[in-house]
Amino acid sequence: MLEKTNEIAIKDLWEELRLFTAARIALGRTGVSLPLSESLKFKLAHAHAQDAVYSDMDVNAIETALDGLGITHVMVESGATDRTTYLQRPDFGRKLSANSTALLQNKRSIQKDICIVIADGLSAFAVNENAVKVTSLFMESLSSKGFTFTPVVLAKQARVAIADEIAHHLNARLSVILIGERPGLSAYDSLGAYMTYMPQPGYTDEKRNCISNIRDLGLPPDVAAEKLRDLVVRSLQLKLSGVNLKDDDRPLLL
Amino acid sequence: MSYKFTIGHYVYEFENLRVLLAKASPLRSGDVLAGLAAASAEERIAAQIALADVPLVNFLNEDFVPYESDEITRLIIDGQDQQSFAAIKHFTVGALRDWLLSDEASAAAIESISKGLTAEMVSAVSKLMRNQDLILAAKKLEVVTRFRNTIGLKGHLSVRLQPNHPLDDLRGIAAGVIDGLMYGAGDAVIGINPATDNPHKIAEIIHMLDRLRLQFDMPVQSCVLTHVTTSIQLIEQGVPVDLVFQSIAGTEKANSSFGINLSILEEAHEAALSLNRGTVGKQVMYFESGQGSALSANSHFGVDQQTCEVRSYAVARRFDPLLINSVVGFIGPEYLFDGKQITRAALEDHFCGKLMGLPMGMDICYTNHAAADQDDMDNLLTLLGVAGINFIIGVPGADDIMLNYQSTSFHDAMYIRKILNKRPAPEFDRWLQHQGLFDANGPKPHTSARQLQELTSTILGLC
């Protein structure tokens, strides 16, 4: 690619230092400017990130996959009606729309242990890639131990906090949300998992625990599902989540 | 008291100065999110017209955040200098704008009134100024600061070398430092955002940077941007801290959410001064701020985000910093939605900081969920270069792999120096030439491979 332009640019003589960092060092220059090949590499990474922010959750594919696994599900929306509103009004993305609130209130049943929410967040791309995989591995490992689940909730234009409202309506002891993280230039497909014990609307980050960078080249989905299982079991046994649930707590026996 | 302006048959009424300033602010998503923005374009201009006629003295009688419960309000009001104010006390906000742009308002004339202005007056006047007004007025002002070199002189532009590494790996950081030095960056500060707040690790980074400076006799200062209380602790342990860093905001409650107050900053300032490490000056503080921080900490008290930002400059002014920059686009699209809003906010921050007498720099930056890209950063960089910005940020390839956002690069810094004919800080400029990295025209076309090999192996040996 771009061989002719690379002939004109001046190479930096310290390329070997890339061994020590993933930072964009020793890029070379033409005059004082960035060589075209580096300029285009950067723009491509940014293009991936931008596309991820505006990507849509592939609801059909996710629902079909959940059906295939015999997992019941329900679809809701936040108060943010479109992506532009979503980006400017995080407060709307944290709350259910009126219709969705009514829908979930009608689905309330006897108390269950865990409510899983799958939400687009800032990268629906990440959700489309790995959310079902994490969900199925996680549910499989806990259902067999007798833990109970509400239907899985798919949430559009959603922020992390929406899970607490959802789980509260569905009468679950614990909420887990799998949500697309803010894309960076190096990764635009990271999924995050957040968990709250005895969730209530209005809870903030101090009540949550988080596993981040879930993607094939980061924390792989199967490893993430195991970590999430350990975290959730500890939380349910100790009856707490957030800052008081320390990372260094030993996993408890199932 | 309330303020009014009539357009056609409609009387716009603004219940107090706080509301008037918020409604007069050029549109930005954070003020909408806070429910403070004008409801229409017409209301915004009605507010600006009403604001233009407000006498400056009104600002001395109306608190934006209550005096009794907010130490920053007390700092602003108690610190307002009546003598400096005397020359302009008959001005309205609009008259102040016209005066700042007039030929009469020389740098010296503006500096002589600066301490008479409160943060809210400064914010107010900026709301009546177009982008070119913000550039023209700021360009008049020269704010020069010193520690081991001289920053902010006309004709010079400095760069903070920001070689962050996600694991704080010393060799990873050093690789970024070498890259930056080769491109003439580092004269503002070699400043690292640590991934950890572990004091032991932070001390390691500081020691490494200090060895590097001594080995090459570099006229630069270093800083690890950790919490101010950690810096105080490190100073007590004898760690060679050059600059003390802290993020600051414009209300007592917001600062409290950062774990700081004025007396902690005072303690840090004195601790850093006690080490007496500066050679050409004693300015030892480095601050960062940014519009939206008070709102995000739910402690803005109905004050618009730009006014909160300028109030944080009153905090900075108290501690005579070497460096201060707004991290303008880092906070995200819910506060500054796109390139246009980021650009406007950055020009406001630079102008307001300079008018307050501060050595303003800027982290010209954005996140991936904002509607902005490198072209927006190029535009803003050029505008701020023209406006006389003291320093900008230099990150390898503009991509901060630790903080996950895009800033300006070493190449960007060379671009702005080249097109505006700006030089690095004089002491650093001489050092670059002495090392054979730069000549009078800028970076040398080819640094000798052997010399470079020596340089990199020496530096890696220091890690």
Per-residue pLDDT tens digits for B1-12: 899 999 999 999
Q: Is A10 on the interface with B (CB under 8 A)?
A: yes
In sequence order, which residues have a C-beta less than 8 Å from that of residue B308 and are 6 or more positions away? Answer: B249, B250, B251, B254, B291, B293, B294, B295, B300
Residue of B nearest to A187 (CA): B404
Backbone φ and ψ for A24, nearest 5 degrees, come out as -80, 75
Residue of B394 and A243 predicted with greater confidence: B394
Looking at the complex, report in whole angstroms how far the Cα of residue A155 sits from the nearest Cα belonging to chain B: 19
Mean pLDDT of the A92-98 span: 97
Q: Is A204 on the interface with B (CB under 8 A)?
A: no
Query: Is B381 inside a domain boundary?
Result: yes
Q: Which residue has the tokens 């519009």?
A: B291
State whether B231 and B90 are in the same domain. no
pLDDT tens-digit series, residues B365-377? 999 999 999 999 9
State whether B153 and B13 are in the same domain. no
Does the beta-carbon distance from B396 to A18 stay under 8 Å? no
- pLDDT category of residue A26 using cuts at 50, 70 and 90: very high
State whether B82 and B105 are in the same domain. yes
State whether B95 and B152 are in the same domain. no
Contact call for residues B23 and B44 (beta carbons, < 8 A): yes
pLDDT tens-digit series, residues B46-95? 999 999 999 999 999 999 999 999 999 999 999 999 999 999 999 999 99
3-state secondary structure of B367: coil
Q: What does the alpha-carbon distance between residue B17 and residue B54 come to, in Å, rounded to a whole number?
A: 9
- CATH number, residue B96: 1.10.220.70
Mean pLDDT of the B336-347 span: 98
Mean pLDDT of chain B: 96
- Domain locations along chain A: 72-244
Q: Of the residues B140, B163, B183, which one is the last residue of a structural domain?
A: B140
Contact call for residues B287 and B247 (beta carbons, < 8 A): yes
Q: Tell me how far apart the terminal alpha carbons of chain A are, to the nearest angstrom.
A: 54
* Least confidently predicted of A53-62, A190-199, A237-246, B26-35: A237-246
| pLDDT score, position B445 | 66
The closest alpha carbon to B429, from B418, B420, B440, belongs to B440
Query: Is B112 inside a domain boundary?
Result: yes
- pLDDT category of residue B290 using cuts at 50, 70 and 90: very high
Query: Is B100 inside a domain boundary?
Result: yes
In sequence order, which residues have a C-beta less than 8 Å from that of residue B310 and are 6 or more positions away? Answer: B119, B120, B122, B123, B126, B250, B352, B356
Q: How far is CA B15 from the centre of its chain?
A: 32
Q: Is A185 on the interface with B (CB under 8 A)?
A: yes
Burial class (CB in 10 A: 0-12, 13-18, 19+), B229: middle
Contact call for residues A107 and A170 (beta carbons, < 8 A): yes
pLDDT tens-digit series, residues B424-449? 999 999 999 998 888 877 777 666 67
CB contacts < 8 A (A, B): 130
In sequence order, which residues have a C-beta less than 8 Å from that of residue B431 and are 6 or more positions away? Answer: B216, B217, B218, B219
| pLDDT score, position B11 | 95
- CATH number, residue B269: 3.20.20.70
Which among A33, A34, A50 is the nearest to B368, CB-wise? Answer: A50
Is pLDDT above 60 for B101?
yes
State whether B93 and B155 are in the same domain. no
Q: Domain range holding B123?
A: 3-140
Q: Within 10 A of B55 (CB to CB), how many other CB atoms are there? A: 14
Backbone φ and ψ for A252, nearest 5 degrees, come out as -90, 155
Query: Is B458 inside a domain boundary?
Result: no
Query: Is B32 inside a domain boundary?
Result: yes
Percent of chain A whose pLDDT exceeds 70? 94
Domain A72-244 is of which CATH architecture? Answer: 3-Layer(aba) Sandwich (3.40)
- pLDDT category of residue A108 using cuts at 50, 70 and 90: very high
Which among B179, B397, B414 is the nearest to A32, CB-wise? Answer: B414
Contact call for residues B185 and B416 (beta carbons, < 8 A): no
Query: Considering only residues 23 to 42 of chain B, which have any Cβ-Cβ distance to chain A shorter than 8 Å?
Result: 29, 32-33
The closest alpha carbon to B292, from B273, B274, B307, belongs to B307
Which among B32, B166, B456 is the nearest to A14, CB-wise? Answer: B456
- pLDDT category of residue A247 using cuts at 50, 70 and 90: low
Backbone φ and ψ for B247, nearest 5 degrees, come out as -80, 135
Burial class (CB in 10 A: 0-12, 13-18, 19+), B106: exposed
State whether B259 and B382 are in the same domain. yes
**Number of independent structural domains in chain B:** 2
Query: Is B451 inside a domain boundary?
Result: no
Query: Considering only residues 407 to 426 of chain B, which have any Cβ-Cβ distance to chain A shorter than 8 Å?
Result: 409, 411, 414-415, 418
State whether B94 and B136 are in the same domain. yes
Does the beta-carbon distance from A32 to B333 stay under 8 Å? no
Contact call for residues A123 and A181 (beta carbons, < 8 A): yes
State whether B211 and B88 are in the same domain. no
Which among A21, A89, A184 is the nearest to B172, CB-wise? Answer: A21
Query: Is B459 inside a domain boundary?
Result: no
Percent of chain A whose pLDDT exceeds 90? 87
Q: What does the alpha-carbon distance between residue B142 and residue A245 come to, in Å, rounded to a whole number?
A: 52
Q: Is B175 on the interface with A (CB under 8 A)?
A: yes
- pLDDT category of residue A4 using cuts at 50, 70 and 90: low
Q: Of the residues B119, B140, B161, which one is the last residue of a structural domain?
A: B140
Q: Which chain B residues contact residue A89 at CB under 8 A?
A: 33, 334
Is pLDDT above 90 for B451?
no
For residue A179, the surrounding DSSP H or E stretch is strand A172-180
Q: Which chain B residues contact residue A53 at CB under 8 A?
A: 368-369
Looking at the complex, report in whole angstroms how far the Cα of residue B445 sits from the nearest Cα belonging to chain A: 8
Is pLDDT above 90 for A250?
no
Is pLDDT above 70 for B34?
yes
Query: Is B98 inside a domain boundary?
Result: yes
Query: Considering only residues 112 to 141 of chain A, which have any Cβ-Cβ distance to chain B shorter than 8 Å?
Result: 122
| pLDDT score, position A253 | 53
- Type of residue at A246: K
Six token digits for residue A54: 């505006």
| pLDDT score, position A205 | 84
| pLDDT score, position A2 | 64
The closest alpha carbon to A84, from B10, B32, B130, B81, belongs to B32
Residue of B nearest to A91 (CA): B33
State whether B301 and B391 are in the same domain. yes
State whether B45 and B118 are in the same domain. yes
pLDDT tens-digit series, residues B115-169? 999 999 999 999 999 999 999 999 999 999 999 999 999 999 999 999 999 999 9
Q: What does the alpha-carbon distance between residue B382 and residue B376 come to, in Å, rounded to a whole number?
A: 10
- Type of residue at B449: A
Q: Is B169 on the interface with A (CB under 8 A)?
A: yes
pLDDT tens-digit series, residues A172-194? 999 999 999 999 998 999 999 99
Handedness of CA B332, B358, B80, B281 (dihedral sign): positive
Contact call for residues B322 and B282 (beta carbons, < 8 A): no
Instruction: Assess: ipTM above 0.90.
Output: yes
State whether B396 and B284 are in the same domain. yes
Which among B165, B406, B456 is the nearest to A17, CB-wise? Answer: B456
| pLDDT score, position B64 | 97
- pLDDT category of residue B462 using cuts at 50, 70 and 90: confident
State whether B120 and B198 are in the same domain. no
Q: Is A59 on the interface with B (CB under 8 A)?
A: no
Which among B29, B164, B396 is the nearest to A25, CB-wise? Answer: B396
